[in-house]
Copies of this chain bind each other. A is one copy, B any other.
Amino acid sequence: MNSGPIDFEVCARDGAARVGRLGTAHGTIVTPAFMPVGTRAAVKAMAPDELRTLGYGMILANAYHLAVRPGADVVRELGGLHRFMGWQGAVLTDSGGFQAMSLAKTNSIDESGICFRSHLDGQRLVFTPESAIEIQERLGADIMMSLDECTAYPADAARARSSLELTARWAERSLKARRSVAQALFGIVQGGVYPELRKLSAGQITALGFDGFAVGGLAVGEPKAQMREIAALSAGLLPADKPRYLMGVGTPQDVVAAVAMGYDMFDCVLPTRNARNGSAFTSEGRISIKHARYARDGSPLDPDCDCRTCRTFSRGYLRHLYMAGEILAARALTEHNLHFYSRLMREAQAAISSGTYDAFARGLMAAGPDWEEGPDKATNNVA
């Protein structure tokens, strides 16, 4: 559909939901796609060949964290992110804007950029829109994200407005700073929980020549209903011929709902972080493996799953591993949870292609299992 660093083609539609093909220099990804989070150039507990086997074609890494350690130059010297990680698929790098919010205590923001104090050793690290691009180019990301100011929740309208205006000025600077024609660059829409401000931001960002568009600043603590309302509104403000990426979302229900809105790309730490905390996504809802009731349970984590974990281990064994602090517990649960998300996306794609997405989504959303985190709080990638 374009001749830039990525190709995006919509292959099927069902309402606003769509199936697409996102072509990158490291393979074609069928969308809607979920990206496992590999903050420090590793998806926690997983080996790269396992991610491939699970059906993933693209992962997310974080420019800020990698700039702190081991440094973008080291990654470049070792062949760029793909070779560094031994990962054959595509990589999207987040810019560091989210960390300016999540690590806000030690940072300051002004017109020029974000001044981080390293969360490791207190060293000063300045991220400007220009340096964020330079770092991501050095890392060798297939898709780079422009530096944004991720608006925290709560924020009043004046604060949200100044934040989105800064994000727009940074977006222009990001595009000007780009040197690599082989790496795609996405812009990020902000605007907090204010519909009018989301419209303003989307108008500003989509007027620029980005290869795709992300909606940021959601799932940062606002009520779930508000997250979905703003996400739905924002999706409709983004061009139909470019990939749409809802950042940091989310639970299986969130993802299924967002696919219906027309989003194509997602990332979230939930499947990996929850796994390390002993929590599994299953066809029967969420399971906390530490519960004593699983101690003598010989059945698999999810009777409706054919992942390696469910083919090999019982709930009783997984509970034992978790209670004993064995690394294999984190591995086995992470593999299962990532399999669960991968399968969810394949099922969503199939439902869109066959024109049955509405029934698929309703089945999961209404009478389906409960995978939510809490009563009404959205969660995000606090990496």
**A320 an interface residue at 8 Å Cβ cutoff?**
yes
Closest B residue to A43 using CB positions: B328
**A221 an interface residue at 8 Å Cβ cutoff?**
no
Closest B residue to A77 using CB positions: B296
Tell whether, in the assembled complex, residue B327 and residue A70 are in contact, meaning their CB atoms are under 8 Å apart: no
Using an 8 Å CB-CB cutoff, how does the interface string of A330-365 with B read, 1 for contact, 0 for none? 111000000000000000000000000000000000
**A25 an interface residue at 8 Å Cβ cutoff?**
no
Residues of B within 8 A of A49 (CB): 308, 312
Residues of B within 8 A of A266 (CB): none
**A316 an interface residue at 8 Å Cβ cutoff?**
yes
Alpha-carbon distance between A326 and B165 when the two chains are bound, in angstroms: 37
Tell whether, in the assembled complex, residue B84 and residue A328 are in contact, meaning their CB atoms are under 8 Å apart: no
**A230 an interface residue at 8 Å Cβ cutoff?**
no
Residues of B within 8 A of A319 (CB): 70
Which single member of B42, B308, B314 contacts A84 (CB below 8 Å)?
B314
Residues of B within 8 A of A85 (CB): 317
Asked if A78 meets B327 with Cβ closer than 8 Å, knowing A70-B295, A312-B48, the reply is no
- What range describes how many residues of A lie at the interface? 35 or more
**A324 an interface residue at 8 Å Cβ cutoff?**
yes
**A10 an interface residue at 8 Å Cβ cutoff?**
no
Instruction: Write the nearest CB–CB distance from A292 to chain B, whole angstroms.
Output: 11
**A86 an interface residue at 8 Å Cβ cutoff?**
yes
Tell whether, in the assembled complex, residue A327 and residue B324 are in contact, meaning their CB atoms are under 8 Å apart: no
Alpha-carbon distance between A372 and B78 when the two chains are bound, in angstroms: 31
Residues of B within 8 A of A74 (CB): 295-296, 316, 320
Tell whether, in the assembled complex, residue B312 and residue A84 are in contact, meaning their CB atoms are under 8 Å apart: no
Residues of B within 8 A of A308 (CB): 47, 49
Instruction: Kindly list 6 other residue pairs between chains A and B, CB separation below 8 angstroms, not including A47-B332, A70-B319.
Output: A40-B326, A42-B324, A44-B326, A70-B295, A74-B296, A327-B331
Instruction: Name the 3 nearest CB pairs between A and B, nearest first.
Output: A86-B312, A45-B327, A70-B320
